[in-house]
Amino acid sequence: MSDKKRPLRSEAWFGTADKNGFMYRSWMKNQGFPGHMFDGRPVIGICNTWSELTPCNAHFRRIADKVRQGILEAGGFPVEFPVFSNGESNLRPTAMLTRNLASMDVEESLRGNPVDGVVLLVGCDKTTPALLMGAASCDLPTIVVSGGPMLNGKHKGRDIGSGTAVWQLSEQVKAGRISIHDFMSAEADMSRSAGTCNTMGTASTMASIAESLGTSLPHNAAIPAVDSRRYVLAQLSGNRIVDMVNEDLRLSKILTREAFENAIRVTAAIGGSTNAVVHLKAIAGRIGVDLSMEDWTRIGRGTPTIVDLQPSGRFLMEEFYYAGGLPAVLRRLGEANRLPHPNALTANGKTLWENVQDAPLYNDEVIRPLDSPLCEDGGICVLRGNLAPRGAVLKPSAATPELMKHRGRAVVFDNFDHYKARINDPELEVDANSVLVMRNCGPKGYPGMAEVGNMGLPAKLLEQGITDMVRISDARMSGTAYGTVVLHVAPEAADGGPLAAVREGDWIELDCESGRLHLDVSETELAERMKDIRPGTSRVLASDGGYLQLYIDHVLQADEGCDFDFLVGRRGAKVPSHSH
């Protein structure tokens, strides 16, 4: 048993010799827990997102067992509990719709239960922000264990990456270069082991962010899901959380402004997903750190992308781990004085720099030197202008450099269905210089803000060998996707944003260097057009009730992290009153 110096919150359940204590202990004992588990040792929640409908997290029972073993070994009392599992691949219309729901599940499960600290088992994209958001609102000692990426896909003798291969191969079908049969044959080849997407998509980005924020042990981001060392990390995290409770190392001591600045810099260096902008803002909002869109420009821009992973580059997460993983990236940044806050505290009680200062780096092609990067100016490009008064984003490392300064005429789609109906129409007036504009795909307009922003190109242009065009929308895109794609335009069209006022043939200017996104019509003309557009009129913003209505009524815009207005903030984990 631990030599604790202060009463743990679990004692308010298990620590009294009275009717209430009897009830709390007695029912727990039906699971076969011996009496000494209730002697005041730290009770550690294992917050599990296991689900067979979330294939990326389907191996989590075994991970949970290793965490449990670690907790027991360190003298804690492990209690595993499930929360809503956001599976990116199956959930429709998008797993983002339920990210906030899952975060509420986590927050209320933690606060209402006899839990002193928690291990968050996360993997598939939205599970990481959802669990961190809920835990941040409670502010208990917390450690993240990610499930790890899948092994490399292997198709016809070469490596293929999760998601990225789907976009590439489906464009090849449209361009007539491969058959639909060839395409289908890649299904099983792409996903051949447990784990999350093996590209630097949102799952790997968020796992890297969890590590750079200091919320996990070193190497959490990259160890493959099926590598035995993933299970060692799980067990060691179980060990460590017990000490974190004894040290009262709460999440707010780790999730400081400095930690978020480190994470923004790391996102640039790894060529991370644009979804990170939304998720990091939401997590920061829960713990009480004020991040702005400009922080991404100030801290991220100018940082070279040195991790050569798909979709921006060549390799996959397996190679990233074998090359040295995130600690090697952090060391490389730190040695060049490009880690903003090396002294930020991490979950193991050491600083970020102490953890990585001796980290080995085995492969300069996968983790490139700073002076020979994949992209000189990585990070997230934040754009503003009359088309996006509250901002929009673009990922330079996944874009075509020549298109990042562009002027073209708008081809406008009112929503995703409209886009699908028109894009392959041979009569559509579109050429390689056109700008594809899609609206009503933001948080409210396509509730959940689906990942449809990387609109596929018109078949007739693909046949001509065109591989990229400027695309603009209020949607998100998958972290595994690529292209010169302007996303997260805020405010969204369905919330009265000027995207609603764009007309077919309007000239649009994009300039990533100066961060400008401009609709070339006069102020008067734009104001005139906006008069006819009232928030909520461009798409039906009422549902049949239920969670969807709660979502539409309370979701914040992309620049605010798409959290619910009433969930922002740290509410702590004060023990609630008795239930009897």
d(CA 373, CA 270): 11
Looking at residues 95 to 134 of the shown chain, list those that interact with ligand FES (rule: CB under 6 A): 124-125
H or E element in which residue 333 lies: helix 325-335
Shortest reach from residue 149's CB to ligand FES, in Å: 8
State in angstroms the smallest separation of the CB of 329 from ligand FES: 20
Q: With contacts defined by CB under 6 A, name the span among 193-201, 315-323, 424-432, 526-534 that binds ligand FES.
A: 193-201
Helix H or strand E segment including 82: strand 77-82
Count residues near ligand FES (CB under 6 A).
10
Q: Closest separation between CB of residue 203 and Mg ion, Å?
A: 6
- Distance CA(454)–CA(229), nearest Å, equals 36
118 vs 197 by CB, closer to ligand FES: 197
Q: Does 196 bind ligand FES (CB under 6 A)?
A: yes
Nearest to 304 by CA among 267, 277, 259: 267
Site string for ligand FES, 443-472 (x = CB under 6 A): ------------------------------
Tokens, residue 557: 């815009």
Closest to ligand FES by CB, 88 vs 559, is 88
> In this chain, which of 89, 168, 170, 172 binds ligand FES, going by CB under 6 A?
89
Contact partner, 440, from Mg ion, ligand FES, none, Cβ < 5-8 Å per class: none
Residue 201 Cβ vs ligand FES, minimum distance, rounded to whole Å: 6
Identify whether the C-beta of residue 56 lies closer than 8 Å to the C-beta of residue 35. Answer: no
* Token reading at 213: 């924020």
**Smallest separation (angstroms) from Mg ion to the CB of 79:** 30
Residue 203 or 383: the one with the smaller Cβ distance to ligand FES is: 203
Phi/psi for 118 (5° steps) reads: -145, 145
d(CA 243, CA 19): 31
Does residue 197 interact with ligand FES by CB under 6 A? Answer: yes
Q: Which does 98 bind (CB under 5 to 8 A by kind): Mg ion, ligand FES, none?
A: none
Dist CA 107 CA 302 (whole Å): 37
Return the range that interacts with ligand FES (CB under 6 A); candidates 196-204, 255-263, 347-355, 427-435: 196-204
Tokens of residue 184, six digits:
């289908």
CA–CA distance, 210 with 412 (Å, rounded to integer): 38
What CA–CA distance (Å, rounded) separates 432 from 99?
Answer: 36
Closest distance of CB 468 from ligand FES, Å: 23
Determine if 308 is a binding residue for ligand FES (CB under 6 A).
Answer: no
Q: Does a cis peptide bond (omega within 30 degrees of 0) precede residue 491?
A: yes
* Minimum gap (Å) between residue 3 Cβ and Mg ion: 44
Of positions 43, 56, 64, 291, contacts ligand FES by CB under 6 A: 56
User: Nearest approach, Cβ of 163 to ligand FES (angstroms)?
Assistant: 6
And the tokens for 94?
Answer: 């998008």
Q: How far is the CB of 60 from ligand FES (least distance, A)?
A: 12
Q: Give yes or no for a cis peptide into 311 (omega within 30° of 0).
A: yes
The pattern of x and - marking residues 199 through 218 that bind ligand FES according to CB under 6 A reads: --x-x---------------
How far apart are CB 165 and ligand FES at their closest, in Å?
12
What is the 3-state secondary structure of 228-274?
HHHHHHHHHHHHHHHHHHHCCCCHHHHCCHHHHHHHHHHHHHHCCCC
* 52 vs 425, beta carbon nearer ligand FES: 52
Neighbours of 413 (CB within 10 A): 22
Nearest to ligand FES of 166, 510 (CB atom): 166
Specify the stretch interacting with ligand FES by CB under 6 A; choose among 7-15, 178-186, 197-205, 356-364. 197-205
Q: Is 161 in the site for ligand FES (CB under 6 A)?
A: no
What single-letter amino acid sits at 9?
R
The secondary structure of residue 455, as a DSSP letter, is P
Contact footprint for Mg ion (CB under 5 A): 88, 125, 201-202, 478
507-511 and 516-519 strand pairing = antiparallel
CA distance 121 to 45: 10
Contact map string, positions 9 to 48, toward ligand FES, x by CB under 6 A:
----------------------------------------
Cβ atoms within 10 Å, residue 299: 20
Question: How far is C-alpha 337 from the chain's CA centre?
Answer: 26
Q: Which is nearer to Mg ion, 96 or 383 (CB)?
A: 96
Shortest Cβ distance from residue 88 to ligand FES (Å)?
4
Question: Cα–Cα distance between 196 and 230 in angstroms, integer?
Answer: 13
**Interface with ligand FES by CB under 6 A: which residues?**
56, 88-89, 124-125, 162, 196-197, 201, 203
